Amino acid sequence: MTMELLSTKDVAKLLGINEKNVYSLIAEKGLPATKVTGKWLFPLNLVQQWVESQTINYPKLPSSQKTSDNVLVLAGSNDILLEKALSLFNKRYPDYLVVFANEGSLGGLKSLRRGLCHIASSHLIQKDEEDYNFGFIEKEFVEIPAIVNFCQREQGLILSKGNPKNIRGFSDLGQGGVRVVNRPLGTGTRLLFDNELRKVGLSGEEIEGYGAECDRHLDVGLEILAGRADAGLGIAAVAGLLELDFLPVRWERFDLLISKSVFFDQPVQLLLDLLHDDQFLELAATLRGYDLKQCGRIVFPKDKKQDVLNRA
């Protein structure tokens, strides 16, 4: 498929701004761009994704549909343990069906906001790097949903077995001969990756493979296992499953955001109960990089100890 590239003038016209402002968006807001030809070029599909990822003011729509049709819809960030939990739910409760839309953390928040799903999964790191999700939730929602922790999980650089390129940190990703694989805009992993690159003074255009995106953490690992990439940011569970090397970066909080209109519905409560089930805990124990100490607990912003279920 041919990639459509826009010039600076094209992007300025698309966004309705001055060309000089385009350069500011590249530097300050992460507008996707490349200088592979010596001048700024902008992949149209990535610009469109970027605009979507920056959208915070959707019109207010009705709350999520009730689950009376016995279908529970989740959308948001991809996670291997979450997939196993949903599979276990469908086997355990055949009268219900739980389905998942892999839209990335930000996509999940927006789908929940628009009433397109009942639960969103998210791990969006905040600017202070001390917390997750709350700042994004406050921008997106008029009324904060219930926020239940699913897990703490370990993120890091997944590397080829034996680490033949001797990658010791993010700064090494800019050296010649190293190719990475990436996650899409709007995912919590992409947000973390771009943050870490900024810390070492690297931009995407300096890294081979930066524009190659995979929808799932497992796909990142498979690209590396196949030798098509040397490194990619992802969860430790993937490195463990595929027997790849792993360079830890940080543990992160992975939450479930639940519409108040369905929080006490039977399928939602059955799913939350499942998080304390021995069979689920046994599944988690087979995977690397998960901590379930807070699993199933409602979490709050540190400075706002509020009852998120009031007026449910």
Q: Tell me, what CATH number does 102's domain have?
A: 3.40.190.10
Per the CB < 8 A criterion, the answer to whether 255 and 152 are in contact is no
Q: How far apart are CA 189 and CA 232, in angstroms?
A: 10
- The per-residue b/e assignment along 18-32, b for 16 or more CB within 10 angstroms, e otherwise, is eeeebeebbeeebbb
* Confidence at 275, pLDDT banded by 50, 70, 90: very high
| Residue at 64 is within a domain | no
147 and 257 share a domain? yes
Which of 140 and 231 is assigned the larger pLDDT? 231
174 and 220 share a domain? yes
| Residue at 188 is within a domain | yes
196 and 244 share a domain? yes
* Confidence at 27, pLDDT banded by 50, 70, 90: confident
pLDDT of residue 305: 45
Per the CB < 8 A criterion, the answer to whether 231 and 165 are in contact is yes
pLDDT of residue 46: 79
pLDDT of residue 173: 96
- The per-residue b/e assignment along 238-267, b for 16 or more CB within 10 angstroms, e otherwise, is bbbbeebbbbebebbbbbbbbbbbbbebeb
| Residue at 307 is within a domain | no
161 and 247 share a domain? yes
* Confidence at 141, pLDDT banded by 50, 70, 90: confident
141 and 261 share a domain? yes
H-helix or E-strand spanning residue 197: helix 188-199
pLDDT of residue 205: 85
pLDDT of residue 28: 79
| Residue at 297 is within a domain | no
pLDDT of residue 55: 64
pLDDT of residue 1: 42
pLDDT of residue 43: 85
pLDDT at 66 exceeding the cut of 90: no
- Compute the C-alpha angle 172/234/128, nearest 5°: 80
| Residue at 178 is within a domain | yes
249-259 pLDDT, tens digit each: 999 999 999 99
Lowest mean pLDDT among 131-140, 145-154, 277-286, 288-297: 131-140
146 and 113 share a domain? yes
Predicted TM-score of the model (pTM): 0.79
pLDDT at 301 exceeding the cut of 90: no
| Residue at 298 is within a domain | no
3-state secondary structure of 222: helix
pLDDT of residue 56: 58
pLDDT of residue 125: 95
* Confidence at 298, pLDDT banded by 50, 70, 90: very high
pLDDT of residue 308: 43
28 and 111 share a domain? no
| Residue at 277 is within a domain | yes
145-191 pLDDT, tens digit each: 999 999 999 999 999 999 999 999 999 999 889 999 999 999 999 99
114 and 195 share a domain? no
Rounded (10°) CA dihedral 31, 35, 37, 43: -20
Rounded (10°) CA dihedral 8, 14, 20, 21: -130
* Confidence at 311, pLDDT banded by 50, 70, 90: very low
232 and 159 share a domain? yes
Domain that holds residue 221: 155-251
242 and 283 share a domain? no
